[in-house]
Every structure is written in C-alpha cells, then in structure tokens.
C-alpha cells in the first residue's frame, strides 16, 4: 500500500465511533470518561487479538475467560461533542479533544487546562500506523517533542526518566540482573506517562496487548520522519488508551490503576519483616535449619511476621517439583508449619508453573490435557532450571481446577496461609506451542503474560475457597497489567552491589507510577557476593520503607543474608526493623489509600511538587505517600546525606525535629541506623509507639503532625481493623482522623474516631515538633500529658466523645 487510506465515519453506537476506508481498514474510537478516550486501529477491519484481561474499571477482577474488547461496562460514558468536515473528525469531552485526520487516521490530542486547549500529543505525520506497509506487526509512531519526559513502563532498569532509551517487554528470568542496564526483566506493563515540565501537563498511554512488545523512547533516529518514539508488537491489535493528566503525573497513574482493577487489600502482617533464603531449604537438614531461624529471631529480638519458603522443600535430588514435599528434609512437614505458626510467623511457600518431565505428577497432567502442547498434542518442551519440562496451560479450566486442588491439599491443608508464585515468566518462544485459550486454541507465545496472570488468579481463588473469611496474601515475581488485583511483588533476583541498591529505588518508583504499589526488593541482594556489613545495613535502611520488606538471598559463597549475619551490626539492623514496625500504621494506611483511591504508595518528589523544576533532576530520593520524604544512603562510606527539599513547604527531620525551608539542598547526618526522613509541612504520619519484642507485640497509636507555619491545616489519619480477615468488607473497620488547624497564635488539634475500632481506646498521642511555639489546644479532647523528647513534643490526648 503506497498511500494512507482515507476514512469516513461509518457508524456511531453510543460512545463508540467506527471509521472505515475503502481498503478495509477501520478505526474505532471509544469515549470512556471525561479524561479517557480509547483508539482501536484495525488494518483489516476486524480484531485479531484475544479478549482483554487488563480492563476492570473500579472492579476486583475481569471475567475468567476475559472481557470482550468492545465491552464498555464500568465506564461512565459521558456526553461528548462530535464535529467533522472534509479533512478532520473531532471528538471532545470537557477534558480531552481528539482530532483525527481522515486521510491516514493521524491523531492529535489536546487537554483542557485553565480553560485553554493545549496540544500534548501528535501522531507522527509519516506512517504513524501500519496499514500493511511493512508486515503484520503492530506499530504506533508519535512525534517526540523537545523536553518531554517519560515515566513508567513498569519494572525497568536505569533512570526513572525513560527518554532516549529502548525497552523490551518480554518476561524473562533475569537472575543476577544489573539494575542499571539489564532489559528485559520480569514484568509486562505497557503503560507510561508523558510529562512536559515546561508547561506542567501530560498524559498516560496504555497499550492493551498481551503480546511481547517494545518501546523506543527516542533512541532511534530516521532522517525521513523527524523526531519520534514508538510502540511495536508482533501480535494482536493496536488498542490504546489516552488518559489526560493535566496537573500531576499521578493523575494518569490513578486513572490507569482504577481502569485496570482495584489493588488487593492484603493482611497487615504482610507489611512485617519476611525472612527468606534458598540456603535453608536446600540444606539436607532443612527443617532443622528453618528452626534455627526462629531461634535467631528470638535471640536477637528481631521482629518477624512471615517467611518465604524457597523451593528446596519440593526437591528430589537437585531439582524442584511443585506440590511435592521432600520428607527427608522435612520429616514432619505439618509439625514444621505449626512451629512457625506458634511463633507468629506465616509461611509463604514457593510454587512454580512448570512440570519437569520426571515430575511425579507429569503423567497425570499430560493424560488430563493440562499442559501446553505442540500441534501433535505432545508436551511443548521448554528449558526450566536444570531440566526440560512443560508449562501448565492456565487457559484450560481443568488446569485451573487441578492447580487449586493441589494448592489446597499440599499447602493450605498443612497450615500455610499464602502462596509465592515464582518462576512464572512462561518463557515459551516456539510458534509450535499451543494453549487451549478457553476453547479458542492459540499459540502461547502470543499471550504468555496471560498465563502468568491466570496462575496467580488461580492461587488466589484456592486461598479464598479454602478459607473464605481470611484475607488472601500472595506474592508473584512476574506479572502484567492488573497484577495489583492479586499480589504483592518484588523486583526479582537482583545482584548484590551498591549500584543495585541505587537503581532498585528507581525501579520501585517506576512500578508504583505504573499502578503496582505493593512492591519491594530482595534486601541485601539475592545473587552474587555476600553484602558487606555496611551494604547490608544500608539496604535494610532503604527496605524498611518498601511495602514488601524481605531479606532474601542465594549468595555465591553459600552464606545467608540474615539480620544477625554480622554481629557488629546486628543491633543496628534490629533497631531498623523495629523502626519499620513503628511505621506500619502509616504504610497500612497508604495501602488502604491505594485500594480505595488508587493512590501510589511510592512516588517521585516531582509527582507531589510538579512545578518545582529541581525535582525533575535524577536523584536517589522518594516520597512515601504524600507526607514523608525518604533519602536512603546509596553510596559506600557516606555518613552524611545531601537531599533537595522541594519548594513550597517546610520539612521537619524525623530524628531531630529540626525544621528546614523547602527549595534548598541540605546536608543531614546519616548514621547507619537512622536513614534520612523528613515530614512535610501539613503532613501526618501514623505510628505504633508501643514497645515491641519478638515474643511480645503491642499496638499503641500516635501521629507525627507538622502543623502549617501560617494559617492552614495538617490533615491525616489511619485505617484500623483486625488486619487479617474479610470482615472489613462488612463494615468491621474504623479510622482515626487527625487535623491540626493553625493560625498565627494557636494550633488546635481535632482528633476523632469513626467506624468500629478493633481495640477501643480513649487516648491517643500527638507528636509535634519541639520548636512549635504557638499555643496548642485540643477540641473535644483533654491534654493529659505534655513533654519533650528527641526533638518532638509529645502530647497525650484523652478524647471526650
């Protein structure tokens, strides 16, 4: 085809428009929300790809067999204006205006801001789409504007700004990866935010595909086309969503998260320290080794809530066999599980979706047709660990039932309460490997990530069916769009180095900006040399701020990353872990806000301060929620930390209570056990101030509050429930609401409770900066204690109503 097709509006059915051409090509436009419009480009007029498992607006999940791509349920479908002339079709909501050139279908996107329309995205003027020009692949080329920044694309190595780089989304087991350079990695999230710091506005683009795909963000140049960036995929359809983000990049992140499904509300214990190592379960005396971990926690007073049980418990010889218990290593598996539960530590067992050819259940699975097979019906062999095997086909309902039955019988019935879905990248490259596709046979390589998603869904359903009143907890290494509906995740098998520590921070921010907030990293590094004492402590001092906090390792020298591996720093690590538990009420509230309001837990400073140009400089800082700025030390030998404080707010040191004006770089002390933390003016941070020990837990609520320096309010609070059951769905939860209303002379504290508190109390602590000189008074409460310690003024309030 030498010339682009000319389109005409053929039909309008509600909020769906269809444009067709004489060549058979079609473009469909869906007006979904005031700020979301979708474009579907069909070179041959019809859909080629499967249903979608990504789109679940405001919902907990999609239908098991997927959602019809023309299903518009869940969207508000607003009224819109439609105009056309001989050259252009225009679609306009209150927030977005899309202009489509009828020759070629080229799109121009505008956002309404302050009453003015502002152009933010243009298709490339030459061959923006593939209407059969080159091959059968999917392409989308757009103009690249000077100064644009790109954030997201999920879990990516390197800097947070993706400009001038190229990325491949092809889920792979990247053991020992470089957090600065390795690509691809474990996740498949084809969504990113374009942001213009100069004009302070932007948008999100989501490409709804299950195919492996790639993004070139300006690394490629071609003299014939000007500056551009593009998306490409070998399979499926070009089906993309434009999301207006007029004020902050978080606008697009929130809407994308809402559109792809409500993040799972997981049990509170999932925020505690989780031990793990492959070394224990690989040992011949694994059960004894696991018992030593409990003794170590008790001896060193290390708080711990869970343990990720590595796959050695399933071994026969050196190989791993999912749903098999090695009774030589674990002669009393049920007693072993009970011993951990008695110590208050939940086990999260590793499970894998590939059966090795000599797996005890292989013949059973093959006979039942549960495996991915070739055209002849024989297993489609793949390399998996040190053997060949075949993946389970999770688009076969019989496989889902088999998987759930085994999760229940070999894990949950033993006393396990969670699952660790691992090695689930589904590395199938052959075109001659097929999945049943819920009745529509398809090459698995065209939708590998779908099996990843359905595996974690099946694991979750097994847990829900087995214990319907218990809130499920799941972890998955690999995943795709919508994984936040099911699991907590981490950045995979990282390499032990200072560089990894620095770039894992950026990797976590990229995931959070892509809708996945319940995340973490293997603290200390998983692969490679054992960390030095300094590196281990600094990594713990960073990891305590991540929703997932797990020390996990498979060190080359067979040592184990344990809190007590270096006696000279054990006290600092124990102190940091206790600080983590002090912060759990704040983290729990942030995850609640993620579930209820689609707020990212981690965020770069520019997301909170989009008008401060200094915040766009690459840094090693991050915001934990809207109130807490965290600046980990990521360089060897440093005892101080320079940190830029965003303009527009004062900042108060967590450790000293000292206040600093924003808009400047300050140098703060950074002892090994005191990572730099600053609370934002107007911020409220919930704490557990009760004394905590391994064998003796307590919970006492307090709030760090930084009142505004002039007239204004500091506002915050935290969710309270039993932390473990589904009773919250039926109203069994409460919430603390805290406000500090300031003027020139006074700070008035307003503290209230709503809902059903799991532990009734009439007292609460409020911690104000010690330098706060204004008169402090309380509304509907009596101040019964007022003293100063460590730079903070601690007030105990007795509520009167």
Q: Is 568 left (phi over 0), alpha (psi -120 to 50) or beta?
A: alpha
Contact 475, 420 (CB under 8 A): yes
CATH code for position 721? 2.60.40.1180
Q: Is residue 181 part of a domain?
A: yes
Query: Is residue 574 predicted with pLDDT exceeding 90?
Result: yes
Are the C-beta atoms of 680 and 716 separated by less than 8 Å?
no
User: Does residue 425 lie within any of the structural domains?
Assistant: no
Q: How confident is the model at residue 760 (pLDDT cuts 50, 70, 90)?
A: confident
Residue 635: pLDDT over 70: yes
* pLDDT, average across residues 203-217: 98
Cα–Cα nearest to 111, from 103, 119, 122, 102: 119
Per-residue pLDDT tens over the stretch 314-355: 999 999 999 999 999 999 999 999 999 999 999 999 999 999
Instruction: Look at residue 366 and tell me whether its pLDDT is greater than 90.
Output: yes
Neighbouring CB atoms inside 10 A of 339's CB total 17
Give the dihedral sign, CA 163/168/172/174: negative
State the distance between the two ends of the chain, measured CA to CA, in whole angstroms: 76
b/e string for 197-214 if b means 16 or more Cβ within 10 A? beeebbbbbbbbbbbbbb
Half-sphere exposure of 297 (CA within 13 A, CB side): 26
Provide the CB-side half-sphere exposure for 168 (13 A, CA). 9
489-500 pLDDT, tens digit per residue, is: 999 999 999 999
Instruction: Summarize pLDDT for 544-562 with one digit per residue, the tens.
Output: 999 999 999 999 999 999 9
pLDDT at 2 over 80: no
pLDDT at 1: 47
Residue 715 has pLDDT above 50, yes or no: yes
Domain containing residue 141: CATH number: 2.60.40.1760
In a domain, residue 154? The reply is yes
Confidence of residue 722 (pLDDT cuts 50, 70, 90): very high
Percentage of the chain lying above the pLDDT 70 cut: 100
Please check whether residue 777 lies inside any domain of the structure: yes
Whether 11 shows a pLDDT value over 60: the answer reads: yes
Q: Residue range 212-234: average pLDDT?
A: 97
Whether residue 714 is contained in a domain is answered as yes
Phi, psi of 532 (to 5 degrees): -70, 165
CA 222 to each of CA 124, 129, 163, 167, 456: distance values in angstroms, whole numbers, following the listed order: 12, 16, 17, 18, 42
Q: What is the mean pLDDT of the chain?
A: 97
Domains contained in the chain, number: 2
CA angle (309 as vertex; 693, 722 as ends), nearest 5:
50
Would you say 365 and 392 are in contact if contact means Cβ atoms under 8 Å apart?
yes
Domain-located, residue 558? no
Last residue of a domain, one of 260, 275, 299: 260
Q: Is residue 592 in a domain?
A: no
pLDDT digits (tens, 9 = 90+) for 128-155: 999 988 899 999 999 999 999 999 999 9
The β-bridge partners of 350 are 420
Tens of pLDDT, residues 658-668 = 999 999 999 99
Domain boundary among 217, 244, 260: 260
Share of the chain above pLDDT 90, in %: 97
Residue 230 β-bridge partners? 141, 216
pTM reported for the whole predicted model: 0.97
In a domain, 256, yes or no: yes
Give dist(CA 561, CA 526) in Å, integer.
Answer: 9
Last residue of a domain, one of 219, 240, 260: 260
Tokens of 408: 């229940």
Q: Domain range holding 24?
A: 7-47+79-260
């Amino acid at each position: 085809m030498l010339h682009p097709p000319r389109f005409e509006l053929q039909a309008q059915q509600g909020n769906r428009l269809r444009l067709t051409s004489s060549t058979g090509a079609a473009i469909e436009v869906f007006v979904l929300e005031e700020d979301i419009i979708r474009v579907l480009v069909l070179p041959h007029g019809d859909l080629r790809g499967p249903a979608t498992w990504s789109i679940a607006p405001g919902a907990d999940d999609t239908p098991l067999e997927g959602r019809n791509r023309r299903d518009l349920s869940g969207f508000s479908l607003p009224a819109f204006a439609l105009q056309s002339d001989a050259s252009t079709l225009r679609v306009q909501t209150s927030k977005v205006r899309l202009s489509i050139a009828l020759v070629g279908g080229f799109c121009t996107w505008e956002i309404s801001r302050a009453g003015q329309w502002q152009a933010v995205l243009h298709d490339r003027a030459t061959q923006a789409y593939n209407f059969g020009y080159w091959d059968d692949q999917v392409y989308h080329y757009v103009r690249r504007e000077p100064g644009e920044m790109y954030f997201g694309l999920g879990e990516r190595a390197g800097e947070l700004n993706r400009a001038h780089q190229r990325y491949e989304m092809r889920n792979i087991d990247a053991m020992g990866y470089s957090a600065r350079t390795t690509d691809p990695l474990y996740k498949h999230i084809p969504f990113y935010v374009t942001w213009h710091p100069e004009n302070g506005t932007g948008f999100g683009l989501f490409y709804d595909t299950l195919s492996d795909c790639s993004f070139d963000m300006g690394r490629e140049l071609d003299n014939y086309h000007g500056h551009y960036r593009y998306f490409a995929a070998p399979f499926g359809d070009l089906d993309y969503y434009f999301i207006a983000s007029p004020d902050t990049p978080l606008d697009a992140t929130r809407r994308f998260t809402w559109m792809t499904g409500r993040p799972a509300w997981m049990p509170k214990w999932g925020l505690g320290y989780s031990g793990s190592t492959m070394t224990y379960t690989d040992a011949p005396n694994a059960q004894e080794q696991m018992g030593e971990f409990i003794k170590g926690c008790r001896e060193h007073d290390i708080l711990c809530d869970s343990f990720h049980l590595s796959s050695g418990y399933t071994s026969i010889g050196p190989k791993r066999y999912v749903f098999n218990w090695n009774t030589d290593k674990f002669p009393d598996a049920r007693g072993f599980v009970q011993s951990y539960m008695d110590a208050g530590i939940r086990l999260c067992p590793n499970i894998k979706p590939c059966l090795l050819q000599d797996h005890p259940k292989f013949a059973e699975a093959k006979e039942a047709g549960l495996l991915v097979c070739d055209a002849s019906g024989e297993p489609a062999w793949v390399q998996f660990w040190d053997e060949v095997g075949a993946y389970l086909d999770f688009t076969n309902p019989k496989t889902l039932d088999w998987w759930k039955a085994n999760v229940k019988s070999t894990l949950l019935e033993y006393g396990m309460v969670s699952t660790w879905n691992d090695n689930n990248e589904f590395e199938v490259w052959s075109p001659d490997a097929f999945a049943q596709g819920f009745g529509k046979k398809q090459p698995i390589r065209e939708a590998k990530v779908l099996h990843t998603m359905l595996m974690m869904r099946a694991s979750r359903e097994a847990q829900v069916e087995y214990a319907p009143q218990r809130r499920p907890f799941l972890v998955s290494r690999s995943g795709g769009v919508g994984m936040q509906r099911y699991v907590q995740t981490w950045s995979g098998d990282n390499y032990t180095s200072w560089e990894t520590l620095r770039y894992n921070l950026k990797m976590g921010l990229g995931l959070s900006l892509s809708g996945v907030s319940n995340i973490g990293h293997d603290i200390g590094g998983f692969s490679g040399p054992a960390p030095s004492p300094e590196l281990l402590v600094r990594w713990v001092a960073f990891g305590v701020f991540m929703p997932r906090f797990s020390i996990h390792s498979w060190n080359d020298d067979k040592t184990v990353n344990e809190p007590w591996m270096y006696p000279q720093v054990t006290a600092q690590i124990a102190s940091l872990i206790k600080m983590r538990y002090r912060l759990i009420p704040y983290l729990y509230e942030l995850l609640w806000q993620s579930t209820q309001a689609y707020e990212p837990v981690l965020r770069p400073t520019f997301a909170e301060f989009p008008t401060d140009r200094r915040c766009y400089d690459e840094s090693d800082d991050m915001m934990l929620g809207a109130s807490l700025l965290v600046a980990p030390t990521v360089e060897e030998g440093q005892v101080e930390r320079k940190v830029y404080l965003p303009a527009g707010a004062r900042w108060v040191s967590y450790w000293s209570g000292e206040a600093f004006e924003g808009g400047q770089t300050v140098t703060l002390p950074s002892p090994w056990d005191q990572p730099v933390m600053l609370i934002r003016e107007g911020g409220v941070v919930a704490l557990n101030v009760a004394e905590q020990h391994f064998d003796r837990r307590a919970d006492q609520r307090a709030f760090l509050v930084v009142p505004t320096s002039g007239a204004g309010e500091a506002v915050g609070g935290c969710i309270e429930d039993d932390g473990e059951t589904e009773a919250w769905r039926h109203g069994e939860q409460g919430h603390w609401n805290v406000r500090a209303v300031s003027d020139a002379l006074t700070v008035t504290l307003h503290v209230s409770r709503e809902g059903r508190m799991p532990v009734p109390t009439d007292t609460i602590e409020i911690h104000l900066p010690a330098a706060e000189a204004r008169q402090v008074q309380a509304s509907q409460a009596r101040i019964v204690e007022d003293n100063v310690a460590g730079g903070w003024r601690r007030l105990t309030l007795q509520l009167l109503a």
